[in-house]
Amino acid sequence: MSRRVLQVVALAVAVVLAVGAGRLVRHHLEGPDPVDAVRAATMAYATGDCAALRRVTVDPREIRCEDVVSVRDAYRDEGLRPATFTYAVVSRVDEDATVRISYRRGKDALQELVRVRRVDDAWKVFPATMAVG
């Protein structure tokens, strides 16, 4: 390879590393994102993983494992594929945020809003607001 090509490749690698490092620093300074908690809760519902849902819930005692299994079954019956859902923070004030989940059910484009709260440096969902499906 010519020296110019090597310089361009080295520059590209440096930019990628700088962007990655910046994201890591930002994540470290700001802490976890509310979307992470909502995504984890959605996947816990989709797989029927009661313990995983309890880990990302404001009050784990509110979670009934039978309900988690029912939601998992509803996801399957309705053909919902949580891996295709998109998430966006639509509001954030101090320790509270709202995350929008966008997804498709058949030909219909749907959205749900999920409330989350920051508790001890972690975002937690209010499960009653998880009405996907």
pTM of the model: 0.72
Please tell me the predicted confidence (pLDDT) of residue 32. Answer: 78
Please tell me the predicted confidence (pLDDT) of residue 114. Answer: 95
**34-47 helix and 65-78 helix, angle to the nearest 10 degrees:** 80
Q: Where are the beta strands (DSSP E) in the chain?
A: 86-93, 96-105, 108-119, 122-125
The CATH number for 33-125, chosen from 3.40.50.1820, 3.40.50.1970, 2.120.10.30, 3.10.450.50, is 3.10.450.50
Please compute the mean of the pLDDT values over residues 61-83 and round it to a whole number. Answer: 92
Please compute the mean of the pLDDT values over residues 38-63 and round it to a whole number. Answer: 95
Least confident range from 28-32, 48-52, 63-67, 83-87: namely 28-32
Q: How confident is the model over 16-50, as pLDDT tens digits?
A: 566 655 555 544 445 679 999 999 999 999 999 99
Contact indicator for 71, 133 with CB cutoff of 8 Å: yes
Q: How confident is the model over 86-133, as pLDDT tens digits?
A: 999 999 999 999 999 999 988 899 999 999 999 988 999 997 766 455
- Within a 13 Å sphere around the CA of 99, how many CA atoms are in the beta-carbon half? 29
